[in-house]
Each structure stands twice: as C-alpha cells, then as structure tokens.
Chain A
Amino acid sequence: MNILRLALKNIADNAFRSWIVAICAALVACCVIGATLIVQGSENSLQKVFERLGADILVIPEGNQSDVEHALLMGVPVTVWMPRSVISEIAALPGVSAVSPQLFLSTMRGASCCSVSDMFMIAYDPETDFTVHPWLEQKLERELSLGEAIGGIYVTVSEGRDNILIYGYEIELVGNLEPTGSGLDQSMFFTYETALEIARLSPMQAERELVISPHSVSAALVRIEANADPLRVVLQIENAVPGVVAIENTQLFRTQRERILGLTSSATVLSIITWIMCIILIGLVTSLAITQRKREIGVLRALGASRARVLLSLLSEGMILSLLGGAAGISLTTFTIYLFRDLIIHQMDMPFLFPTPLALFLLSIGILAFTLISIILATLFPILHISHLEPGTTIKEW
C-alpha cells in the first residue's frame, strides 16, 4: 500500500467526483491544445511560406495582391502579368541586392492534356533565383534541367504514369519540398526554360494553348541589402515603377494575419471561460467530495498521516485525474484536428501546418503541466482547508 495505490482506490471509489474532475481536465486540455494547434498551425504555415519565398519584398501587378496571396497560401491558381522591364528597374534601385522574376501558371481543369487539374505552377529564373535554388543545392546538388520539376509535399505522379502531364508535356518530378501547410504544398516549380518549352509545344499537344509572353513576368522577388530599410525600398519601388505594388514580407498575408489574430482572441477568450468554469466546477465538486470524506480524513490523521501526507494524498488524486483527463483531451483533440486538417484549411480558408511529432510532444507536455497546475489550484483551497482542521473536529463533523 502506498499513496499512489490509495489514491487510485479512492478515485475508483468516488466515481462521480472522479468523472467530473477528469472531464473538466479533458475540457481544459482540449480547449488549450485545440486553440494552440489551430492558431500555431496557421502561424507556422505563414512563416514557412515566408521562408519558402525567401524574399524581403514581393512585387506584383497593382490590384492583384489578394489573388496572389490567396494563390500562395491556398494553392488556388492565379495568372497575373507585368512587364519584364520591371526587373531591371527594381534592380537599379538603391538598397536592392537581388531581384528574381517568377511566372505564375496554371494547369487546365478537367483536360486530358493535364494529369493534374487546376494546379498552381511557378516558373523561376535559375540565373537569379534565390527561392528554389537553396533547396536544390541542398537536396539535389544540381539545377533543374529542361523538363524537370520539384513539387510541394503533396505533388505526386498519378498512378500508372511516370511523369506529370502538363499541357501535353511530360514533366519529370525530381523531388518534393518540405511541407508548409499552404497552397505551396500543392504547387510545382520548374525553370523558365521548361515553362517556355511547354508553351511552345502546347498548340500541338494540348487542348488549349499556353500563352507566355516573353516580355512579361508575374512577380518579382526582391532581396534587400543588409543595412537597407525595407519600408524605404518598398516606397522607392512603388515610386519608380508604375503599375506595381511592393509588399514587404512582414506585410504579406495581412488579411490572414488579421484572421489569425481574431482567431487567437476568440480561442483565448473561449479557453479562459472554459478554464474558469472548470476550475469553479472542480473546486465545488472537490469541496463536496472532501466534505463527504471529512471523517475518513480524520481517521487517516488518527492513524498517523501527517497534515502534509493528507494534503499530498488528496492532491495526488486530483493530479492523477488531471493527467488522465488531460491526456485523453489532448489525444482526442489532436487526433480530430489531424483527421480533419484539410477540412479546417478549407473551412477557415487559412493555411495550416500540423506540428512535427517533437513539437507536438513538447506542446502536449506543456498543456498537461498546465492542466495539472490548474487542477491543483482548483482543489488546493478545499484540501488546505480540511487538512488544517483538527482531526478530532473532522471525525466529529460529518
């Protein structure tokens, strides 16, 4: 017989109290981990998109900001154009260290000449690129050749095929990028040369011609010098190049950021309300349960349990219940969010990146500790009160 075994026996013997405490612990853990996973998942995803873009400033044709942001985040294809001369104009500005153009393309929907429907594709210029290049250098140790592509984590070759068919052109998928939880996971990257080759052959091979103007680009990714002020460069670009909008990376996806902020506030308020209600409920139930066990506590004191042992014994019951309930709440919520992550992305129209197992483990430990502390707080007052009463009084008062 030890404190743990006694606590387990008491938990089993006080089923009503035990269930209430465990359910409250599960609710607290469920709310906190649910809110954290969704908010953190969206923020992480945005961060990954920033990292993937690798640019300090994104320049796109004026009036297309929300479409481009939506394309990058949700993978909904967009086709926008601006003159290629924009690249050299930006490159000439002070504070700019590198500029790389990109073409935004899209596969056809439901056409036999495309093995993937409505896919967002990005063509980059290998000579100036700093977005795809670092990954290629690290993983592939070479540049992409003509007819080769790398895809987001969810881009795969259809069953029964060796390559991906784009406008009747066979593209070899040579690798997949790390997940971002955004539309980039369903997007494909290839070189300008490949894009132009697809466009050149499309009149003969595709149901519809892919038109790419050699004098146009969709976006310009800008890197600034180390000591340059990004805001100053943004203003310089917008002043020097008419018809474009320059977006500092911290200002990208502002709508989504605001939505995440709103979501964070709602989730925080909901979690706080649930937490307070659970704490009050647990406090009341513990108070009730302990009142019913006054005599038992008096008997334990008579048998030689010190005040500290009684305190520890009663607290350990709450701790076990909070760990069990918390673990159940965390597992159930995590599993549900994992199962419905695609639905969450579509319903909220926001990117979402499920955390890595290590991050999830650490988060779960943190939330379990939070649940544990919450339950200890909720049960501490009635337990302290009873443990400080004279044993003779607790034995008599029943």
Chain B
Amino acid sequence: MMISLFQAGKTYTLKGKTTIPAIQEVNLNIDTGEFVVITGRSGSGKTTLLNLVAGLARPTSGQVLIESMDLWSMSDQEQSRLRNQKMGFVFQFPSLLQSLTVLENVILPGMYGQKNEKHLILERAEKLLDEVGLNNKLSAYPRQLSAGQQQRVVIARALVNQPALLLADEPTSNLDEQTEQEIIGLFKDIHDSREITILLVTHAGQLIPCGTRALQMAEGRIIKDEHIHENRVVRQ
C-alpha cells in the first residue's frame, strides 16, 4: 500500500486555548512492502503520525494520500471501510474487548466487513490463532491471558481481514524482554510471509534492525530517514 504525506501537520488545542503542534510539515512516501520503524522520544509525534496515516486523526494542514487518494476527501463510511479492509492495528495498550472471547475478538473486524465473507473470517481467525500459538485459547477471555498472549491475539485480529498495511504503536512496550522478542519475531515473520506494509512505532532503538527503513522523529518532524536493510528486497 502506497502512503504519502504532503506538508502534513497536526495541532492539538487544549481547553480551547493552548495549541500543541504534534506534527509539523511532514513529507513522507512509504512504498508497498516496506517495514518502517519509527522511533523518537515521548511526545515526538510518532503516534500522531501513525494516526494520520490511519485516518484516526485529521491533519490540520497538508494531505494524507493512500494509494493516491486523499484520505480526507473520503466519507466516514469509505474511510471506515478502508481501515477495515486494508489496515490492521496493534496498539500499545490492551485493546481487546474484555467482554468477548479470544475468537470473538479476532473475528470482530469481520463484523464491520462484507457479509458474505463472515464464514471465511472465522476460518481465517482460527488459522491465525493457531499461527500465534493460541489455538487452545479460543474460548478464553482476555483477562485469562498474559500480556504477551493478549498482544498475540491483537496481532491475529489485525491480520484477520488480510490487510495491506499493518500499523503497530509500541506493541512491545508493556511486555517483558523475552515476550518482546517473540512479538518482534512475529512481526518479522508477518512481513516476510505476506505482501504487507508495516509501520511500527517504538521508543526502543534496538528494534530498528527489524525493519527495512527507519524514521526518527523529534518535535513533530522527521529528523532522520534511512533504509537500513540494503540486502532486503523492497516489494514494489
């Protein structure tokens, strides 16, 4: 999935007075199949950049183009369909619905998708949960799982609609070191085995080698942009 940001900016207004520029005049092109690791200190604008790309936040200036289409010229319905069909999300916080079982959480995006695909979603969800090693936890509730297991379920949910773009916002920040390695391994496998573009936000510099491209942000701007795996073929 091709993503382009032109002079994109996002300013938050607090209590109607104070304005905080979270993103400033960002120009960025991401090609299909790239694994982009975005780093930076807290408040540098990483999450806001991810939200702009996903259409979860509206830029206060500039444009966000997905496959050459202006994201904000789309209706809410079209944007939602795009997110549902083309994007998968892995959040920093526990994002599973506590009232649903593991399997129900994974098939949840199917509820917002096309009706005739619902039986396929179920099959796919079971297969994905098997891939992330949780095929024995289908009926378990999130509270019965460890943080690492929950994050695996979230990854399965993110992939259930076979998205072209996977957006991950600090997916390992709440995990211990061993689980962090396992989750990072999962992301690598996903990138290697699927035609998928990944944008991964992290404050942990050691994750940079996992990606094909590294962006560093500070004060709402991209201050470093480099391709880090020259030997990896970037799918076009």
B51 at the interface (CB under 8 A from A): yes
List, in ascending order, chain B residues with CB within 8 A of A392's CB.
47-48, 51, 54, 56-57
List, in ascending order, chain B residues with CB within 8 A of A304's CB.
80-81, 83-85, 109, 112-113, 161
Pick from B47, B81, B112: contact of A396, CB below 8 A.
Answer: B47
A143 at the interface (CB under 8 A from B): no
B157-186 contacts to A, CB under 8 A, are: 157, 161
A377 at the interface (CB under 8 A from B): no
The segment from A29-37, A151-159, A175-183, A306-314 found at the interface with B is: A306-314
List, in ascending order, chain A residues with CB within 8 A of B157's CB.
303
Given contacts A309-B80, A390-B56, A392-B48, contact A303 B108 (CB under 8 A): yes
List, in ascending order, chain A residues with CB within 8 A of B93's CB.
295, 398
Chain B contact residues (Cβ within 8 angstroms of A): what range? 20 to 34
List, in ascending order, chain A residues with CB within 8 A of B54's CB.
302, 392
A252 at the interface (CB under 8 A from B): no
Pick from B51, B76, B81: contact of A307, CB below 8 A.
Answer: B76
B34 at the interface (CB under 8 A from A): no
- Check B104–A305 contact: CB distance below 8 A: no
Pick from B89, B110, B111: contact of A302, CB below 8 A.
Answer: B89
Quick one: CB contact mask for B127-164 with A, threshold 8 Å, 1 for yes? 00000000000000000000000000000010001000
A269-305 contacts to B, CB under 8 A, are: 295-296, 298-305
- Check B76–A306 contact: CB distance below 8 A: yes
List, in ascending order, chain B residues with CB within 8 A of A398's CB.
93
- Check A303–B51 contact: CB distance below 8 A: no
Pick from B58, B77, B100, B110: contact of A306, CB below 8 A.
Answer: B77
The segment from A5-13, A54-62, A232-240 found at the interface with B is: A5-13
B90-120 contacts to A, CB under 8 A, are: 91, 93, 95, 97-100, 104, 107-113
Given contacts A1-B111, A304-B109, A395-B56, contact A299 B99 (CB under 8 A): no
List, in ascending order, chain B residues with CB within 8 A of A10's CB.
99
- Given contact pairs A6-B111, A9-B100, A396-B47, a sample of 8 additional A-B residue pairs in the complex whose CB atoms are under 8 Å apart: A1-B108, A295-B95, A298-B56, A299-B95, A303-B112, A304-B80, A304-B83, A392-B47
The 9 closest A-B pairs by CB, nearest first: A304-B84, A392-B57, A13-B99, A392-B51, A392-B56, A306-B80, A304-B112, A9-B99, A391-B56
List, in ascending order, chain A residues with CB within 8 A of B112's CB.
303-306, 309
- Check B56–A1 contact: CB distance below 8 A: no
Count A-B pairs with CB separation below 8 Å.
86
Given contacts A2-B111, A6-B111, A392-B48, contact A302 B83 (CB under 8 A): yes
- Check B83–A303 contact: CB distance below 8 A: yes
Residue of A nearest to B97 (CB): A296
A382-398 contacts to B, CB under 8 A, are: 390-393, 395-396, 398
A231 at the interface (CB under 8 A from B): no
List, in ascending order, chain A residues with CB within 8 A of B51's CB.
390-392, 395
Q: How far is the CA of A380 from the CA of B108 in the complex (A)?
A: 24
List, in ascending order, chain A residues with CB within 8 A of B111's CB.
1-3, 6
Within the complex, the shortest CB–CB distance from B82 to chain A, in Å, comes to: 8
List, in ascending order, chain A residues with CB within 8 A of B85's CB.
304
Q: From DSSP, what is the main secondary structure of chain A's interface residues?
A: helix
Pick from A2, A296, A301: contact of B56, CB below 8 A.
Answer: A301
Q: How far is the CA of A127 from the CA of B157 in the complex (A)?
A: 87
Within the complex, the shortest CB–CB distance from A393 to chain B, in Å, comes to: 7
Q: How far is the CA of A334 from the CA of B144 in the complex (A)?
A: 44
Residue of B nearest to A393 (CB): B57
- Check B98–A13 contact: CB distance below 8 A: yes
List, in ascending order, chain A residues with CB within 8 A of B87's CB.
302
Residue of A nearest to B115 (CB): A2
B42-96 contacts to A, CB under 8 A, are: 47-48, 51, 54, 56-58, 76-77, 80-81, 83-85, 87, 89, 91, 93, 95
Within the complex, the shortest CB–CB distance from B106 to chain A, in Å, comes to: 10
Q: How far is the CA of A392 from the CA of B111 in the complex (A)?
A: 21
- Check A303–B89 contact: CB distance below 8 A: yes
Q: How far is the CA of A293 from the CA of B81 in the complex (A)?
A: 22
